[in-house]
Structure 1
Amino acid sequence: MYTLLKGIAAAPGIGMGKAAAKGQRPEQRQADAAASVSLTPQAAEEELLRYGLAAEVAARELEELAERTRERMGAEEAEIFETHLLLFGDEEFDGGIRRRIRGERKPAALAVEETASEVAALLESLDDEYLSGRAADIRDVAARLLRHLAGEGGSESAAVLRGAEEQAAGKESEPAAGPPVLLAADLSPSDTAQLDKSAAAGFATAAGGRTSHSAIMARSLGIPAVVGLGPALLAAMADARYVIVDGDAGVLHINPGDALIGEYERRQREAEERARSYGRLLAEETRSQDGRRVELAANIGSARDARAAAAAGAEGVGLFRTEFLYMDREALPSEDEQFAAYREAVEAFNAKRQPVVIRTLDIGGDKKLPYLPLPQEENPFLGHRAIRLCLDQTDLFRTQLRAILRASAYGNVKILFPMIAALSEWRRAKALLDATKEELAREGLPFNAETETGIMIEIPAAALMADRFAKEVDFFSIGTNDLVQYTLAADRMNERLAYLTDPFYPAVLRLIDRVIRAARAEGKWTGMCGEMAGHPLALPILLGLGLQEFSMSAPSILPARSWLARLDSRECEALAAEALELEEPDEVRALVEARFPFLAAGQA
């Protein structure tokens, strides 16, 4: 029976294939079976040894998985597994398991299951979106341990997909053969990281949102995905034979008819043809239809990301998130370590002297460093983070500034200060930068004394004072993810407030307009590094408002270049003026869709 389910569009594209349903995990059944067992002291010591061996193998797997993920997706995604590794030395998790085995004489499987449940439940009970979201990481590591204790190992999702392919082989009754589509209650980061297009045409889950780890990884891997389908997916999985995942519309078609399959096959062919056509744009400048020049840059987290972005057609880096150099370590990175990473990223774009905007450390609040003790905060997104932390810990800050300035000798570096709310913060940060320049000059170390310095506009207070900031800074970079969150007073990690975390609210557009106008009045430039910069429907509005640099994920660059080439900037100016007078985000989107249907259809 045909069923249509509506969920959340997590990763774009169309995935079609035989349904592969992921059910109850074997490691859960193993723990259930061990529940009634009580061990002798000698048996408990043997179980402790068995757990230690399983933990050692699991840790090696995670190290390998982190490295593969870094190569395939980048530093941000690999950080998930580096965080998992820290659990093996964690007193609550690893220590709790060992205490249950030796002290309570419980089998290793049961000790892992009980400890993971206890720690995950504690995290979920906290009034902190970031920490409660890490409960999934606890369960992922526990599942890996339990598989090794059962002697099974590997990824359950990979096994499910292989089984689906084997069942489909040779069945003439099935539509054209190809990778299956994975259906599951949820996918762990480990499950998702081991998928690729050759193994899975797409996936759909009952749980999850656009910010879940599985969704983030699916977008990096280019695997179409729909999440948040709810209990309806679980009820339909048993009867699902062939499915279509529409990651653009956020829908799942279960057991579609031939006509619908044919329509989606046609759409797939058109999408493939568009992707091939983007190749001709790799070496081209980004210009509107009437010749207005803008820059399309990339958001990166590592030097490896910089090389990939350059190969994908980026005209520079609009945001280098330096915090990934600090995470999942036992100590702060040295000046030389940082200098080497920044220099490598800069040199990837130095052939054309293309800009690399390096943001100073944006840590604290919701992003923790284990070696940098920070107090627990009730409202971490409004807390002691980013520039606020750096202005308090000036030794840490000046080490990073030295490394960035030294890298400026090797290319077109620009320095970006995050989370600036007041002119006094900007002036203190700039004074420290100037003092660092004097220090390097005395030491005879080369650097570019004219390195441009700007601020992120992500706090409404800074947007409202943009005319004053513009007299002192060299540029603005608008961080729409946080600007939307702070303007609408809506936590962007809270799925229940998703309707408010929308950059198309006219209140947000008016702040963006104010910032760009203030910069232009002082002869300064404005970029944008939030997700809005790569949104197809936002492009004509931002072009019309006068944005000069659009920074986005590397895969979005060539489609955006193609779309901008079809836009007349004068027509976009009129559209932007009209959008500023509207009242609701849906009205803004409808305006753009009516004026530029090709953007609504995602065509280029």
Structure 2
Amino acid sequence: MLKFSGKSVYKGIVLGPAAVLKNNDFQVKRERAEDSEAEIARVETAVEKAQEQLQKLYEKAVKEVGEASAAIFEVHQMMLEDDDYRDAISSMIRTEQINAEYAVAVTGDNFSEMFANMDDDYMKARAADIKDISNRLVRNLAGQEDMDFGSMEPSVIIADDLSPSETVQMDKSKILAFVTVHGSTNSHTAILARMMNIPALIGVPMDLEEIHTGQTVVVDGFKAEVVFDPTEELCRETEARMKEEQEKTELLQTLKGKENVTRSGKKIHIYANIGSVGDVGYVLENDAGGIGLFRSEFLYLGRNDFPTEEEQFQAYRQVVQTMAGKKVIIRTLDIGADKQVDYLNLGREDNPAMGYRAIRICLKQKDIFKTQLRALLRAAAYGNLSIMYPMIISTEEVRQIYSIVDEVECELNDAGIPYKIPEQGIMIETPASVMISDELAEMVDFFSIGTNDLTQYTLAIDRQNEKLDDFYNPHHKAILRMIKLVVDNAHKHGKWAGICGELGADLELTQEFVRMGLDELSVAPSMVLKVRKNVREME
């Protein structure tokens, strides 16, 4: 029995098999191959396997994000069949008498560089695709299996760390818990784990070489412990505790359909935060009143090129139509900091949390912003959609945004495309926006307070730095006073104010937030009924 302690991201308890994700980065070596035809045959086998893998990915993506977003996997399948690419690999193996892995890797690099140097933007974007399919072939040649989340049994994911783009692509129905060696309790990955309503531990000092897939594991988010190869007695105790937690969950279900109102009659909206179209089911399942934060950047992650206007429109429309008139607040692209996109070529920054990110990218690279705004305005015609702009620090930024929205409106009018100008608000997540919230309230329709970034910027603490978790205090008086100031300034101008950061789900503060006059709390879907219970028990 191996036992480790870590930091709990979401409290829960589970027993199940481990699925170990190991970093398979390795150096491809050049080796002499006496039998060139045998090496070429190995490539053909690897190509066939890659086609099967890509077809499975395509079918999964169609179900979860629609045909438009899944099309990238069809593109990869077609590129694998390209004669020039395949001939270049075979020729290199024959003329240089080298191993298949090295020939595929070099050919991938050569073709990728060739595409990257082309003038056509579409062809430039294919450079990353070539690199991706070449890496897939090399992995297949080396006998490295992709983790098949579709066919695996429900498991506890064990990893060194998980990026947001990795977690968003997983089959959530097959994941019992997360356990990682690294990561911060305030990272975006941790936020995703809480949204998925599964136990998760980070900062666990385990050696992944000592753990194998299929090993039985207990994850205890209450004690912040993970146990590998537990004793029979511990397994029985865990199963009993899992049953208790299930009973508590069932009691919460009785609150479905009830109002979010205190005993004295004070009402508050309780919405849900989500990261993809597929997460809408969690919102409805947990009886949230709406979606207070749709993280649109997850449409941009885990791919090799920007999502098109049509892809985004289809995703946004599907969400608002599914929510059937309930409010859906979509945050515009918030890339940067912990959410990196290779094809955006942002470059390395010494302090990315304070760097080129979110609305700053949108205002500098207007074409990206306008594509998203066109999709949003078109989707707004199909339901109760609101737009929310992140990382605002000045009234001038709001004026620039409105000017770009006007341009988009003119373009849609000229093209005769149906649209609607929706409610537009901003996120309050910088001390600057707090201090001028009285002026900002005159310009926008609502405020949504992003307490994660507001806390890190106010306390001068990088929320991605796990060494600083002990210093990160979202209950700091300065944060609570800022929230109260923002709410008061919004109400002075007849605007509403809510919280969409993690603090909104902090049950120790629910009563204080209601007393402050917050109009809305947007939380992980798994927390909706728990917050409702707190509100209804208030005097």
Q: TM-score under structure 2 normalisation?
A: 0.74
Find the residue that maps to 1:454 and give its secondary structure: strand
Asked if the contact 2:501/2:523 (under 8 Å) is kept, the reply is: yes
Alpha-carbon distance between aligned partners in 2 of 1:266 and 1:559, rounded to the nearest angstrom: 22
In the TM superposition, residue 489 of structure 1 has moved relative to its aligned partner by 2.4
Q: Is 1:554 equivalent to 2:525 in the alignment?
A: yes
Q: Is 1:38 equivalent to 2:32 in the alignment?
A: yes
Asked if the contact 1:196/1:223 (under 8 Å) is kept, the reply is: no
Alignment CA distance shift 1:190-1:532 (3 Å): closer
Out of 315, 325, 341, which is 2:315 matched to?
341
Partner in structure 2 of residue 120 of structure 1: none
Alignment CA distance shift 1:348-1:39 (3 Å): same
Partner in structure 1 of residue 125 of structure 2: none
Partner in structure 2 of residue 296 of structure 1: 270
Out of 32, 35, 42, which is 1:50 matched to?
42
Find the residue that maps to 1:481 and give its secondary structure: helix
**What is the correspondence of 1:414-493 to structure 2 with a 5 Å cutoff?**
414-437=386-409, 440=412, 446-448=418-420, 451-493=422-464
Find the residue that maps to 1:410 and give its secondary structure: coil
Asked if the contact 1:9/1:250 (under 8 Å) is kept, the reply is: yes
Q: TM-score under structure 1 normalisation?
A: 0.67
Alpha-carbon distance between aligned partners in 1 of 2:374 and 2:273, rounded to the nearest angstrom: 22
Partner in structure 2 of residue 230 of structure 1: 205
Amino acid at match of 1:348: T
Amino acid at match of 1:293: K
Alignment CA distance shift 1:150-1:221 (3 Å): farther
Alpha-carbon distance between aligned partners in 2 of 1:338 and 1:479, rounded to the nearest angstrom: 24
Alignment CA distance shift 1:401-1:108 (3 Å): same
Asked if the contact 2:184/2:463 (under 8 Å) is kept, the reply is: no
Alpha-carbon distance between aligned partners in 1 of 2:30 and 2:403, rounded to the nearest angstrom: 66
Q: Is 1:267 equivalent to 2:241 in the alignment?
A: yes
Asked if the contact 2:194/2:526 (under 8 Å) is kept, the reply is: no
In the TM superposition, residue 461 of structure 1 has moved relative to its aligned partner by 0.6
Residue-pair matches, total: 502
Percent identity between the two aligned chains: 37
Asked if the contact 2:30/2:98 (under 8 Å) is kept, the reply is: no
Partner in structure 1 of residue 385 of structure 2: 413
In the TM superposition, residue 14 of structure 1 has moved relative to its aligned partner by 1.0
Q: Which digits, 9 at most, give the CA deviation of each residue in 1:448-483, with x for residues without a partner?
A: 45x322111111111111122112221101112222
In the TM superposition, residue 424 of structure 1 has moved relative to its aligned partner by 0.9
Asked if the contact 1:58/1:144 (under 8 Å) is kept, the reply is: yes
Alpha-carbon distance between aligned partners in 2 of 1:368 and 1:254, rounded to the nearest angstrom: 33
Q: Is 1:313 equivalent to 2:287 in the alignment?
A: yes
Q: Which runs of 5+ in 1 are unaligned?
A: 117-139, 163-178, 569-604
Partner in structure 2 of residue 68 of structure 1: 60
Amino acid at match of 1:5: F
In the TM superposition, residue 558 of structure 1 has moved relative to its aligned partner by 2.5
Find the residue that maps to 1:420 and give its secondary structure: coil
Find the residue that maps to 2:508 and give its secondary structure: helix
Q: Which digits, 9 at most, give the CA deviation of each residue in 1:305-360, with x for residues without a partner?
A: 335523431211212223334452545513x443333222222223xx32221222
Alpha-carbon distance between aligned partners in 1 of 2:21 and 2:348, rounded to the nearest angstrom: 38
Find the residue that maps to 2:488 and give its secondary structure: helix
Asked if the contact 2:168/2:298 (under 8 Å) is kept, the reply is: no
Higher relative contact order (CA 8 A, sep 6+): 2
In the TM superposition, residue 413 of structure 1 has moved relative to its aligned partner by 2.2
Alignment CA distance shift 1:193-1:506 (3 Å): same
Alignment CA distance shift 1:467-1:217 (3 Å): closer
Alignment CA distance shift 1:141-1:286 (3 Å): farther
Amino acid at match of 2:522: S
Amino acid at match of 2:383: G
Q: Which digits, 9 at most, give the CA deviation of each residue in 1:5-25, with x for residues without a partner?
A: 3212244321235x7696999
Find the residue that maps to 2:270 and give its secondary structure: strand
**What is the correspondence of 1:182-581 to structure 2 with a 5 Å cutoff?**
193=170, 202=177, 204-207=179-182, 209-210=184-185, 222-231=197-206, 244-253=218-227, 264-306=238-280, 308-327=282-301, 328=303, 330=305, 333-334=308-309, 336-350=310-324, 353-363=325-335, 367=339, 372=344, 374=346, 376-437=348-409, 440=412, 446-448=418-420, 451-568=422-539
Find the residue that maps to 1:537 and give its secondary structure: coil
Amino acid at match of 1:385: R
Asked if the contact 2:22/2:160 (under 8 Å) is kept, the reply is: no
Find the residue that maps to 1:527 and give its secondary structure: strand
Partner in structure 2 of residue 169 of structure 1: none
